Amino acid sequence: MSVTAAQGFEASGVAVGLKSTGKPDVAVVVNRGPLKVGAAVFTSNRAKANPIIWSQQAVQDGVVEAIVLNSGGANCFTGSFGFQTTHQTAEKAAALLGVSAGDILICSTGLIGTGDGVFRAKVLEGVEQGIAALATDGGEAASLAIMTTDSKPKRSIVTTDGWTIGGMAKGAGMLAPGLATMLVVITTDAMLDAAAADEHLRHATRVSFDRLDSDGCMSTNDQVTLMASGASGITPTPQAFREALTAVCIDLSEQLQSDAEGASHDIRIVVENAASEQDAVEVGRSVARNNLFKAAIFGNDPNWGRVLAAIGTTDAEFDPYDVDVWMNGVRVCTQGGPDRPREDVDLTPRATRLVIDLKTGTAGAIILTNDLTHDYVHENSAYSS
C-alpha cells in the first residue's frame, strides 16, 4: 500500500511510454485532507534538475496538495524548455484537481539531458491518465511507476495508536550524502503542522538517507517528500511521530542499499567512541567512498590497512595508532597494528559489518554502503543513465 496506507491519500501509476519497456512511468499521489501539510528535503547538488527548482519553491508555504513523479527522464539540464515542462505539468495537475499549481510538487528521474517535446507530451499525458486512475489502494501502482534500474519496489509502513506512516522509494545506486538519485514519498494521516513536518523530516533523513552512501555520487534530482492529511484525527506526541518516521526512513534506506546496482555486499560501517557525531559520520563516509576498500570487500579480503588509510584522510579527532577495527566480529587491527589473523574473518555473507573504534569520545554513527564490483562497473558503463 505504501503511500496509500495512511488515510486521506489516493495514488496511481500509469504507463505513457517514457520507459522504452512500456512499464508504468508516471505516478501521482494526492492528499484529500483535511490537512494539506507538506515538507520536503532536496539534493544538495548545485546542479539541480528542473523539478527540484520547482518543488523547492512550491513547498515553501508548507502546503502540498499532490505530487507528480515520472521515471524515464530526469528533465535536468534541459534549459528553459525543460523548466516550462515542469511548470506545465504542475498547472495541468492543478487544473484537473481543482487546486493551485503552487501546491503541486514534481519529481523526475532518468537520464540527464532528457526533456524534449516528446518527453513533455508524454508527461502531460501521464498527468491526465494518472489523475483519472487515482485510487485509495493505488500505492502499489505508484511505487512501481517510479522505478528505474531498481530490481524491486521499496515500500514501508508503520501503524501505531490509530495513525499510520507509509512510504515508497526508488533508487538503486548513485546514493550519496545529501541524497542522490533517490525519490521518496512518505504520507501520514497523523495531525501535524507544517513546521513540525519539516523538522521531523530533516531529523529522520539526516540519520537515514543521508547516511546511505552507495557510491559517493550525488544526483541532481533527489527529493524526499512528507505529506500529512490529518485524516486519523490523532495528534501523536512529537517523539512518537519522529521515531515512527525515522523507522520508515531507515527501513527504506536499507531497502535502497540492498538493491544498489551490481553490489554483492551490504556494508554497515559502525563508527564508535568518536569525539562527535560529525567526526563519526566523516570517518564512516571516508571508508564508504574508498574504492580500494570497497573492491577488497568484493574480493572477500579483510584489508584493514585500506580502512586505516581511508580514515587517515579525515580531520576527525583520533590517533591513527590507537584505533581498533573489527570485520564481521573479528578484531583485525588494534592500536595501529595487526591483531587477529585475516583468515579468521568470513566475508562471504552479503551482510558485512565493519566496526571502527576511535577511542576519543562517546558519539557514533552508522553509514551504509556497498562493495565495488564488476557488475557495478558493467551497469554504469554499458548504458547511459
Positions that interact with a second copy (CB under 8 A): 44-48, 74, 76-79, 82, 111-113, 174, 178, 215-220, 289-292, 295-299, 301, 303-306, 308-314, 320-321, 333, 335-338, 342, 372-374, 376-378, 380-384
Which of residues 75 and 164 has its CB atom nearest to a second copy in the complex?
A: 75
**Residue 200, C-beta contacts closer than 8 angstroms, at least 6 positions apart:** 39, 192, 226, 238, 241, 242, 245
Cell output for 182: 533517490
Nearby residues of 102 by Cβ (< 8 Å), 6 or more positions away: 57, 58, 61, 90
Nearest approach, Cβ of residue 228 and a second copy (Å): 31
237 labeled part of a ligand binding site: no
Is the CB of 62 or the CB of 305 nearer to a second copy?
Answer: 305
DSSP 109: B
Nearest to 118 by CA among 158, 75, 169, 154: 75
Asked if residue 181 belongs to a known ligand binding site, the reply is yes
Beta bridge partners of 40: 225
Q: Which grid cell is 282?
A: 566523516
- 114 assigned to a ligand binding site: no
> DSSP readout, 198-215?
HHHHHHHHHTTGGGB-SS
**For a second copy, the closer CB: 141 or 176:** 176
Check the annotation: does 261 bind a ligand. Answer: yes
Taking the complex as a whole, how short is the minimal distance between the CB of residue 179 and a second copy, in angstroms? 12
Collect all residues with Cβ–Cβ distance below 8 Å to 307 and sequence separation of at least 6. 287, 290, 293, 325, 333, 354, 356
Q: Is 221 annotated as a binding residue?
A: no
Residue placing its CB nearer to a second copy in the complex, 272 or 379: 379
Q: What is the largest CA-CA distance in the chain?
A: 67
Q: What is the smallest separation between the CB atom of 130 and a second copy, expressed in angstroms?
A: 26
Any idea which residues carry the catalytic annotation?
Answer: 181
Kindly give, in sequence order, each residue whose CB lies less than 8 Å from that of residue 212, ignoring residues fewer than 6 positions away: 175, 176, 253, 256, 257, 367, 368, 369
Question: Least distance in Å: CB of 378 to a second copy?
Answer: 7
148 is in an annotated binding site: yes
CA distance 12 to 188: 17
Smallest gap from residue 352 Cβ to a second copy (A):
14
| For a second copy, the closer CB: 130 or 173 | 173
Binding-site annotation, residues:
148, 170, 181, 261, 380, 385
Binding site for substrate: residue ranges? 148, 170, 181, 261, 380, 385
